[in-house]
Amino acid sequence: YCQLSRLAIAAGKRYFGSATDNPELSDSPYVAQLGNTADFNQITEGNSMKWDATEPSRGTFTFANGDVVANLARSKGQLLRGHNCVWHSQLPGWVTAGNFNNATLLSIVQNHCNTLVSHYRGQMCQLYFTSLEPMITNSPSDVTVHVTTDSWDVVNEPFNDDGTFRQSVFFQTTGTAYIATALRAAHDADPNTKLYINDFNIEGTGAKSTGMANLVRSLKDQGVPIDGIGVQAHLIVGAVPSTLRQNLQNFANLGVEVAITELDIRMTLPATQALLAQQQRDYQTVIAACKAVSACVGVTVWDYTDKYSWVPGTFSGQGAACPWDANLAKKPAYQGIVNGW
Ligand code: XIL
C-alpha cells in the first residue's frame, strides 16, 4: 500500500506521476514500472508535444509521438499532462524572431495552442475518470461522474531569473500579449482542462516567484483563464529552498492550484551513500511541502529512473537525480517520497 500514487491520493492529491519519452518505450521493464499505477497515476510526455514535434512546418501538425504517450496513459487509466504549448526552446526553425509581425505571430500562437489542446481534449477527460475508478469501491458502472480533467502547461518558462520577462521570440514580437492569447486559445479548445504557466527557479520565494505571482494576478484581473502555477523543481541535493512550502502557499493565495511538475534532485557524481541519504531527505521535504498546501494537486518526477534522466546530458558532471537508479532499482529517494506523503 505504501506506493507513491496511492499515498498521494490518500493525502488528498490528484496524482503522483512521471515524465516519459518515446525512445524509452521500447524498454519493457521500464514501461512495466511506468505503468504501475500504484506508483504513477499520471504521465507527462517529455518531448513529444513540444512545438518542434507537433507543428514542424507552419500549419502542418504531427501528433504521432504524442499520441503514443497519450494512448499508453489511457491504456493504464493514467492522467495526462500536456507539455507544452508555448516555449522559447525546441521551436521549429520557422518560428524565428523577425519572421512575423505582432498580429501574425499572435495568430500563429492562437492556432498552435488551439489545435494542440483540441487534439487531446477528449482523451484527458476520459483519462481522469478511468484513474479514479480503481480507487472507488463498489462504484456502480452506469453512473455518470463529471470530474475535473487534467492539465496543460500552456506557457512554459516565460521569466528570467530576475523576474523580468524572457526575451523569447514571442516576447520580442508581442510583449506579454502572447501569454493571454495562448491561454484563451487553450481554454477555447478545452474549457475543462487546467491551464498552467510553468517555470523553474520558482520553488522558493524571490524575484522570479514574485514576477510569476504578479503575472498571474494581472491575468486574473483581466479575466484571462489561468488555473495553475507549475513549479518545475529541478533541484540540487542539499539545496531545497527553505521557503518552498511558503512559496507554494503564496501562489495558492492568488486563487490558483499549484503542482510540482518536473521534480528531480541532482548531485555531483559519483553518488555516495551520504549524498543518497541527503537526497532521500530532500525528496521527503518537497513532498511534505506539497502535502501541507491543500492547493498543491500533485507531483510529477521528470522521469522516474536515472537511466533516462535529462540531467547528465544538461548539467555536466551531475546526475543520479531520480528516485530509481539506472538499473530500475529503488533508491533511498523512493522512501523519502513515501515518508513525505
Ligand atoms: C527536457 C527533456 O527532458 C530533454 O529530453 C530535452 O532534450 C530538453 O528538454 N524544463 C522543461 C522540460 O520544461 O521541457 C525540459 O525537458 C527540462 C526543463
Predicted confidence (pLDDT) per residue in 247-284, tens digit: 999 999 999 999 999 999 999 999 999 999 999 999 99
What confidence tier does 139 reach under pLDDT thresholds 50, 70, 90?
A: very low
Active site residues: 157, 262
Instruction: Over range 3-14, report the average pLDDT.
Output: 95
The x, y and z cell numbers of residue 338, run together, are: 513515501
Q: Which residue has the cell 500504484?
A: 38
CA 146 to ligand 1 center in whole angstroms: 33
Instruction: Specify the pLDDT at position 128.
Output: 47
Relative to beta strand 257-268, strand 318-319 is antiparallel
Mean pLDDT of the residues in the chain: 92
Does residue 144 surpass a pLDDT of 50? no
**Residues 91-101: what's their mean pLDDT?**
94
Report which of 100, 93, 91, 107 is spatially closest to residue 47, judged by C-alpha positions.
91
Q: Which band of pLDDT confidence, cut at 50, 70 and 90, is reported for residue 132?
A: low
Which pLDDT does position 145 carry in this prediction? 35
Three-state DSSP state, 220: helix
State the pLDDT at residue 77.
Answer: 83
Task: Give the confidence band of 291 by pLDDT, cuts at 50, 70, 90.
Answer: very high
How does residue 97 score in pLDDT terms, banded at 50, 70 and 90? confident
Give, for ligand 1, the residue of 263, 310, 315, 318 to mutate: max count of ligand atoms closer than 8 Å to Cβ: 310
Give distance in angstroms: CA of 261 to centre of ligand 1: 12
Residues in Cβ contact with 263 at an 8 Å cutoff, skipping those fewer than 6 apart: 232, 233, 234, 235, 283, 286, 299, 300, 301, 302
Render pLDDT for 201-231 as a digit per residue (tens, 0 to 9).
999 999 999 999 999 999 999 999 999 999 9
Q: How far is 7 from 23, CA to CA, in rounded Å?
A: 29
Report the separation in Å between the CA atom of 1 and the middle of ligand 1, taken as the mean of its atom positions: 32
Alpha-helical runs (H) found in the chain: 4-10, 28-34, 51-54, 64-76, 102-119, 121-132, 169-174, 177-189, 207-221, 244-252, 273-292, 311-314, 332-340
Nearest CA to ligand 1 atom 16: 46
pLDDT at 136 > cutoff 70: no
Q: For residue 126, is pLDDT > 60? A: no
The CA distances from residue 228 to 169, 198, 212, 218, in Å, are: 24, 8, 11, 14
C-alpha span between 150 and 142 (Å, rounded) = 23
Which value, to the nearest 10 degrees, does the dihedral of the CA atoms of residues 203, 154, 196, 191 take? -170
| Model pTM score | 0.94
Protein residue with its CA nearest to atom 14 in ligand 1: 46
| Phi, psi for residue 80 in degrees, rounded to 5 | -125, 135
Among 12, 3, 9, smallest CA distance to 295 is for 12
Give the model confidence (pLDDT) of 15-51 as tens digits: 999 999 999 999 999 999 999 999 999 999 999 999 9
Q: Which three cell numbers stand for residue 203?
A: 520553488
pLDDT for the residue 123: 58
AA letter at 41:
N
Where does ligand 1 bind, in terms of residues with CB under 6 Å? 46-47, 156, 232, 262, 310
State the pLDDT at residue 54.
98
Q: What is the pLDDT of residues 175-195, one digit of tens each?
A: 999 999 999 999 999 998 999
Assembly ipTM: 0.99
* pLDDT exceeds cutoff 50 at 101: yes
